[in-house]
Amino acid sequence: MGKLTRFGVSVNSDLLVKFDSVLKNQNYSTRSKAIEDFMRQTIVNCELSNDSSQVVGSINIIYDHHRRELLGKLTDIQHDFQAIILSSHHIHLGHHNCFEAIIVKGEKKSIEELASKIKSTKGVKNSTLRLIPL
């Protein structure tokens, strides 16, 4: 980890007032910590814009387990992508719905392909993909 470096920043005063208000709402105690977090997030976003980036993350879905053949289809898709799936966690939500978190690691492009195949399967009601670069 590098040493701390001080640098001066000039910004519009109205922008700074709004920024400080947001920092207060997000419980930041110093501007330095907030700016560090925003810098890291900018770097992460840049890394995530590269299809060949190595990433880890999760695909989270809610689906109707009464829909015929859906479970088989989801299982078939996951077997096709077993090289990038580390684990999956299934939770029964009430009588109709199931929640599944599929933990993935690998090339971003492959993970997005898996996520889009799952998302577009009939009976999948909601789907999110969250990725963090390695």
Closest approach, Cβ 96 to Ni ion, in A, equals 9
Closest approach, Cβ 94 to Ni ion, in A, equals 9
Closest approach, Cβ 63 to Ni ion, in A, equals 9
Residue closest to Ni ion when measured from CB atoms: 98
User: How many whole angstroms separate alpha carbon 24 and alpha carbon 114?
Assistant: 39
Residue 92 or 125 with smaller CB distance to Ni ion: 92
Residue 56 or 77 with smaller CB distance to Ni ion: 77
Closest approach, Cβ 90 to Ni ion, in A, equals 6
Cβ neighbors of 132 (< 8 A, separation 6 or more) are 44, 55, 56, 57
Residue 86 or 91 with smaller CB distance to Ni ion: 91
For 49-99, where are the alpha helices, taking DSSP H only? 70-80
Cβ neighbors of 101 (< 8 A, separation 6 or more) are 58, 59, 60, 88, 89
User: How many whole angstroms separate alpha carbon 48 and alpha carbon 40?
Assistant: 12
Residue 51 or 64 with smaller CB distance to Ni ion: 64
